[in-house]
Amino acid sequence: THLAATAKWDRFLAITGFVLVGLIMLIMLVAGAFMSSFIPGMGGGMATGIFMIYALIIGAIWFFPALFTYRFASNMRRALAGNDQQALITAFQNLKITFRYIGIITIILVSIYALAFVFAGISAAFISR
């Protein structure tokens, strides 16, 4: 029963993740187009391009955890409904991939923050002189 409840909640979170990725990409594209109307000349097209690239990168980064979460939920439901051992193994493989992916993203973000703090400290040391 715990695995069935987990699969239901995971499916909900995966679908919510897909919707949020779509909204993030849409908002970024609209923001890029909005900015291009206020920036005259070549800068407007460049701002739109930057926002489009940023939207695609953010969308791609967060699409995959939602996809693997959805695959976990679908395979878990199939495994529980049909007592399917292979679907259970596939479900847990997708869950492992999800956790590994989010762990790597977390390590990257913590590293970026740590570097930002180091550079901020170095900058503050030079400014205070």
Joined tokens for residue 71:
């695959």
Q: What is the pLDDT of residues 28-79, one digit of tens each?
A: 877 777 777 776 655 556 767 777 788 888 888 999 999 999 999 999 999 9
- Quote the pTM value: 0.77
Q: What is the 3-state secondary structure (H, E, C) of the chain?
A: CHHHHHHHHHHHHHHHHHHHHHHHHHHHHHHHHHHHHHCCCHHHHHHHHHHHHHHHHHHHHHHHHHHHHHHHHHHHHHHHHHCCHHHHHHHHHHHHHHHHHHHHHHHHHHHHHHHHHHHHHHHHHHHCC
In this prediction, residue 54 carries a pLDDT of 80
In this prediction, residue 45 carries a pLDDT of 65
Comparing 29 with 122, the larger pLDDT belongs to 122
**Mean pLDDT for the chain?**
88
- Residue 120: pLDDT over 80: yes
